[in-house]
Structure 1
């Protein structure tokens, strides 16, 4: 598996990269090739005497690259200039990456920052599965909030085609999760559909049996009723999830927004790591 890992070379980025448990989780899901990328925004000048931003960035990348290499990954480092989310997503498309990994610190949409840019913009335009890794500030610096990335994975589904794509991504995580929890939330839209609560429970049980056969792990199911985002966040806490898996919900031709209201809200509000899988139509051929 090939991933693009975005970094702004900060102490927070170091915390994400240097977490041994996180590195082991990536290795366990089959990641062998890591492309580190840092983006120098256009508004950062390199014309000052004695200052070469790109060269400084390449030099700074060496220590982070070394961490991945010592963990056994094949690593290539990239320094780009421009808009961070465009450069990150562009590299992922060009490399045909299996996943993009970004770090996020802060909860609210205004404070929710990508290491190197804005996590919401990367999420909105990502055409590859995107893992948002939570980083928290501590008295001594930074650390990842939940080290064991995929140990307890919560998959939330509305049984749409986009949710199905996220479900189909689950077996690629084989080797990392110890438990998977399947969740359907009966919000207003779901309650107005023909799908009953009993139907939803039956479909989840079928999916659970399928995953247990494919992944050889424990799978539990639950159906909740209420506001979709609030219920997903509540279920994260109830089951002790370390990563929440969601399908992005559609596109906008004008702004190329791929993520959808629910997934975007979870990315912005959750304390969990979040893995968002884009619609099939978003993936370039």
Structure 2
């Protein structure tokens, strides 16, 4: 397994470092610490730039040597550029299976792993991205809409040993948007629309029930305990509320999703979850090594993971 840990060495990055240090990585895992110094104004002196660069390199070297080795090898590399672009490019170059980032940075002369940068990394990344806000992953919420993106997220949870034995809650969200309000001119039209709305909502609720039940059944051998949860409302808000109520350490979700239910794997919703969560967030994307081509049954038919 190849892991790219994008860090700036700041105190705000501490939880991400704790996660990388504590995770049960598979034997032979290669972890690369990657630091990006953002471009600075020309007014900054060359001497100051050189000194900051040396300090940054020393800090990366110290962090690399201080991480527990066990069955993993740890190296480091630095670069100058726009953080999101540089991190995504490095992940492609090393064929990373996972990118780990913190959620905050420390200014213009170091990597700004802020929410916007984390979101930018996710938009560009060729592999899953974990925004680490907590060291542990004992309680996990898996957001599921029955889509290929959700199946990919579930496959990562199922296959990655870094999660160990966890308490899992599978959550899906039903969009309950109301039909147009009745008017004096078209009461019969509104009545017909209301009936269609109720029928459609009942279908979506049943689809949601099947979705979480099928996913929970498939993942039952992997989790210590497993629960299902169906919520109704705005997708991002409901996922965040479910994570809060479950005291989740980690939210796992895909980056794109199904057109039914709440459509909650559209990039904007994933971004809202990323920026609104107080726990870690894993956005699953395709990985050639860990998502093998296999058939995965869902209530919507057979989805081939790739």
Provide the TM-score with structure 2 as the length reference.
0.72
Contact in 2 for aligned 1:4/1:100 (Cα 8 Å): yes
Q: How far apart are residue 50 of structure 1 and its match? A: 8.4
Matched, 1:125 2:124: yes
Instruction: Give the SS at the match of 1:267.
Output: helix
Matched, 1:186 2:185: no
Give the structure 2 partner of residue 76 of structure 1. Answer: 75
Q: Unpaired segments of 5 or more residues in structure 1? A: 107-112, 135-145, 251-257
Give the structure 2 partner of residue 140 of structure 1. Answer: none
Give the structure 2 partner of residue 255 of structure 1. Answer: none
Instruction: Give the SS at the match of 2:227.
Output: strand
181 and 116 in structure 1: CA distance in 2 versus 1, 3 angstrom threshold: closer
Range moving further from structure 2, 117-126 or 163-172: 117-126
Provide the TM-score with structure 1 as the length reference.
0.77
Give the structure 2 partner of residue 23 of structure 1. Answer: 21
2-structure distance, mates of 1:36, 1:226? 40
71 and 11 in structure 1: CA distance in 2 versus 1, 3 angstrom threshold: farther
What is the RMSD computed on CA atoms of the aligned residues? 3.1
Matched, 1:226 2:214: no
1-structure distance, mates of 2:115, 2:87? 10
Give the structure 1 partner of residue 151 of structure 2. Answer: 164
Matched, 1:36 2:33: yes
Give the structure 2 partner of residue 59 of structure 1. Answer: 58
Q: How far apart are residue 166 of structure 1 and its match? A: 1.2
Contact in 2 for aligned 1:158/1:184 (Cα 8 Å): yes
Contact in 2 for aligned 1:103/1:133 (Cα 8 Å): yes
Contact in 1 for aligned 2:35/2:79 (Cα 8 Å): yes
Matched, 1:207 2:215: yes
Contact in 2 for aligned 1:5/1:100 (Cα 8 Å): yes
Give the structure 1 partner of residue 245 of structure 2. Answer: 238
Give the structure 2 partner of residue 142 of structure 1. Answer: none
Q: How far apart are residue 188 of structure 1 and its match? A: 4.1
Q: How far apart are residue 52 of structure 1 and its match? A: 4.4
**Cα displacement string for residues 134-168 of structure 1 (whole angstroms, at most 9, x for unaligned residues):** 2xxxxxxxxxxx331x2111011121222221122
Counterparts of residues 131-142 of structure 1 (less than 5 Å): 131-134=130-133
Q: How many residues align?
A: 253
Counterparts of residues 91-130 of structure 1 (less than 5 Å): 91-105=90-104, 114=113, 118-130=117-129
Contact in 2 for aligned 1:39/1:84 (Cα 8 Å): yes
**Cα displacement string for residues 88-130 of structure 1 (whole angstroms, at most 9, x for unaligned residues):** 1111111111100000149xxxxxx616982221122222100
Give the structure 2 partner of residue 155 of structure 1. Answer: 142
Q: Unpaired segments of 5 or more residues in structure 2? A: 106-111, 178-196, 258-264, 292-305
42 and 130 in structure 1: CA distance in 2 versus 1, 3 angstrom threshold: same
1-structure distance, mates of 2:96, 2:47? 35
Higher Cα radius of gyration = 2
Give the structure 2 partner of residue 2 of structure 1. Answer: 2
Q: How far apart are residue 171 of structure 1 and its match? A: 1.0
Q: How far apart are residue 194 of structure 1 and its match? A: 8.4
Q: How far apart are residue 184 of structure 1 and its match? A: 0.7
Range moving further from structure 2, 115-124 or 97-106: 115-124
Instruction: Give the SS at the match of 2:157.
Output: helix
Contact in 2 for aligned 1:152/1:180 (Cα 8 Å): yes
